[in-house]
């Protein structure tokens, strides 16, 4: 983090842009509450580790810690009572995620945007929430904050719903985060500042311009600054070395990996991470923690993509892997930077960014493309070999226009043969206890595949995935009157769809990116039976 960002954080994230919002604590919950934090998390005062880090102190945080240290020495001290006295749960607005009987999907989703919108004026003081200048849309459920890559898919739906007011607000918020912290954090929480998420800002900028929010050129300085964050340390790397997000390949090419600045347990998953590291006594705990954090930065937390053993989360090696999707998104950023620099009259920068995009595409073809599998695969840079796990991330080079026509056709065939289920596109081929593995399907991965396949003329397969996904979502909506975070893709019948499972927390309702992708797909497919689906009504097609 830059010196400017550190100074801003020392003021609770306050700048003139956010004077209407309450300051956050200047430290993360673990740094602030120290042994109190460890006691609360390890003694499971709350069943979900995220609950405490989102709590609001009733006094100044320094005073709460002082009173804890004084009280904890008294015989009969009751930690649960202390926490109940000095912390309040973050106020959660009424959900209204469940639709009224008879309501169709489009009005249900359009009505949810206000339910999922949060106002900075409502931020509590001295919590872990980072101030933002404008209103923002949260995913829903346990997630009360803005998330980076989720928001791109949410924005697709906001645009389809005509909510340009919220598109403008989100554009301002992400630009503010880059200006203030030098990057877009995983979410607007102090405990998320040590990492980012898949770099979707360039794609957001395209969306802003195409829907009249503002000219893309306005965001060029922010896009450059975010790119510098992802490429920091590149110049000093020798072949075979890595620093932060950058990996220098043996032939001198630079590709990227996910990374987190900290090597401690995730604060929102503290006890889970401690227990995971205990299952890997042969590895330094800090190494496991950093790989877990980097897995969270990927957005795929967690998946067999990052594991040596699909049945053992402690075998996670995220920082050793050069991912297909991350490098595809950065290719898109480089192309966007080249285009905007040219529009700004800076031909030298335009040529430099275009050359970077070309170099990345060539390096991905050398290291990540598998002619045997017919798809781009993640690459293990420490072991010098491609990973064997085929995943839906293979569609991302199509989504950003990186793949050659021949690669796109091969990828389409591979996805059709290996990842299509009755209910949509599977995440990977390896069933595990992790939520980013079968049988789960996720809205963002459906959209990336559908949009990417369309770009290369694979209309039939794109339409097939869209049909399967809309059938899955609408079938569950008819039965349960809501949309959820992820779906279980049954292999026999999409009409038997259910919410997904696995992972560290229960299935969440809401849900931002599902709403966004489904709303966009409903607009793209006005003929689909999902338009006739109604809450507690009839199943489409029956």
Name residues whose C-beta falls within 8 Å of residue 76's C-beta, 6 or more positions apart in sequence: none
Q: What is the pTM of this model?
A: 0.97
Listed in sequence order, the residues at least 6 apart from 527 whose beta carbon sits closer than 8 Å to its beta carbon are none
In this predicted structure, what is the pLDDT of residue 7? 84
- 531 by Cβ neighbours in 10 Å (0-12 / 13-18 / 19+) ranks as middle
pLDDT at 542: 52
Active site residue 119: no
CA–CA separation, 374 and 475 (whole Å): 33
Place of tokens 């919950």: 29
Cα distance between residue 276 and residue 287, in whole Å: 12
103 within 8 A of 477, measured Cβ to Cβ: no
CA atoms of 488 and 494, how far apart (whole Å):
9
Assign 370 to helix, strand or coil: strand
Q: What are the backbone dihedrals phi and psi of residue 304, each rounded to the nearest 5 degrees, phi first?
A: -60, -15
Give the active site residue among 145, 273, 301, 334: 301
Residue positions counted in the chain:
542
Which residue of the set 25, 260, 485, 509 is catalytic?
485
CA nearest 151: which of 175, 131, 129? 175
Phi, psi (5° rounding) for residue 342? -65, -40
Would residue 372 show up in a list of annotated catalytic residues for this protein? Answer: no
* pLDDT tens, residue by residue, 402-416: 999 999 999 999 999
Question: At a CB cut-off of 8 Å and minimum separation 6, what does 372 contact?
Answer: none
Chain position carrying tokens 């311009």: 209
CA dihedral 47, 50, 56, 59 (to 10 degrees): 80
Q: What is the pLDDT of residue 316?
A: 98
Peptide bond into 486 cis (omega under 30): no
Kindly report the number of other CB atoms within 10 A of residue 84's CB atom. Answer: 12
Look at residue 57 in the predicted model and tell me its pLDDT.
97
Q: In what order do the strands lie in the sheet with 242-243?
A: 242-243, 246-248, 254-256
Residue 253 DSSP code: -
Q: Which ranges of the chain have pLDDT less than 70?
A: 1, 93-95, 491-492, 494-495, 538-542
What H or E segment, with its residue span, contains residue 420?
strand 420-421
Q: Which domains does the chain have, with CATH numbers?
A: 3-231 (1.50.10.10), 237-257+323-388 (no CATH), 267-321 (no CATH), 389-541 (1.50.10.10)
């Amino acid at each position: 983090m830059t010196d400017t960002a550190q100074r801003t954080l020392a003021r609770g994230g306050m700048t003139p842009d956010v004077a209407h919002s309450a300051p956050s604590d200047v430290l993360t919950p673990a740094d602030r509450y120290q042994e109190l934090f460890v006691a609360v998390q390890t003694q499971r005062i709350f069943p979900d580790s995220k609950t405490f880090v989102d709590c609001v102190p009733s006094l100044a945080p320094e005073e709460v810690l002082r009173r804890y240290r004084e009280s904890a020495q008294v015989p009969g001290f009751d930690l649960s009572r202390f926490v109940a006295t000095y912390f309040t749960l973050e106020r959660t607005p009424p959900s209204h995620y469940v639709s009224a009987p008879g309501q169709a999907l489009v009005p249900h989703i359009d009505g949810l945007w206000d339910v999922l919108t949060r106002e900075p004026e409502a931020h509590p003081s001295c919590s872990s929430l980072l101030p933002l200048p404008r209103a923002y849309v949260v995913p829903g459920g346990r997630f009360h904050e803005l998330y980076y890559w989720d928001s791109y898919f949410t924005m697709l739906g906001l645009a389809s719903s005509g909510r340009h007011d919220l598109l403008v607000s989100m554009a301002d918020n992400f630009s503010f985060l880059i200006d203030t912290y030098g990057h877009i954090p995983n979410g607007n929480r102090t405990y998320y500042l040590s990492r980012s998420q898949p770099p979707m800002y360039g794609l957001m900028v395209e969306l802003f311009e195409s829907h009249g929010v503002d000219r893309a050129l306005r965001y060029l300085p922010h896009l450059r600054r975010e790119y510098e964050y992802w490429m920091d340390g590149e110049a000093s790397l020798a072949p075979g070395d890595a620093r932060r997000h950058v990996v220098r390949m043996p032939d001198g090419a630079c590709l990227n990996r996910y990374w987190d600045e900290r090597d401690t347990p995730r604060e929102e998953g503290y006890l889970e991470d401690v227990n995971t590291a205990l299952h890997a006594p042969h590895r330094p705990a800090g190494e496991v923690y950093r790989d877990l954090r980097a897995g969270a930065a990927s957005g795929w937390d967690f998946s067999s993509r990052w594991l040596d053993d699909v049945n053992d989360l402690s075998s996670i090696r995220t920082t050793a892997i050069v991912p297909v999707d991350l490098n595809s998104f950065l290719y898109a950023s480089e192309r966007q930077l080249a285009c905007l620099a040219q529009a700004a009259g800076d031909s030298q920068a335009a040529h430099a960014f275009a050359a970077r995009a070309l170099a990345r595409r060539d390096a991905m073809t050398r290291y990540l493309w598998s002619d045997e599998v017919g798809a781009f695969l993640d690459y293990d840079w420490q072991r010098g070999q491609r990973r064997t796990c085929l995943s839906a991330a293979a569609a991302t080079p199509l989504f950003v226009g990186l793949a050659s026509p021949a690669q796109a056709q091969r990828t389409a065939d591979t996805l059709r043969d290996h990842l299509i289920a009755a209910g949509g596109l599977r995440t990977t081929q390896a069933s595990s206890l992790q939520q980013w593995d079968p049988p789960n399907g996720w809205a963002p991965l459906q959209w990336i595949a559908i949009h990417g396949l369309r770009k290369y003329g694979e209309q039939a397969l794109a339409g097939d995935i869209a049909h399967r996904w809309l059938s899955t979502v609408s079938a569950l909506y008819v039965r349960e009157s809501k949309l959820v975070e992820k779906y279980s893709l049954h292999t026999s019948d999409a009409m038997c769809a259910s919410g997904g499972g696995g992972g560290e927390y229960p299935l969440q309702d809401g849900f931002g990116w599902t709403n966004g992708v489904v709303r966009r797909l409903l607009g793209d497919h006005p003929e689909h039976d999902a338009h006739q689906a109604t809450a507690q009504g009839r199943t489409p097609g029956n």
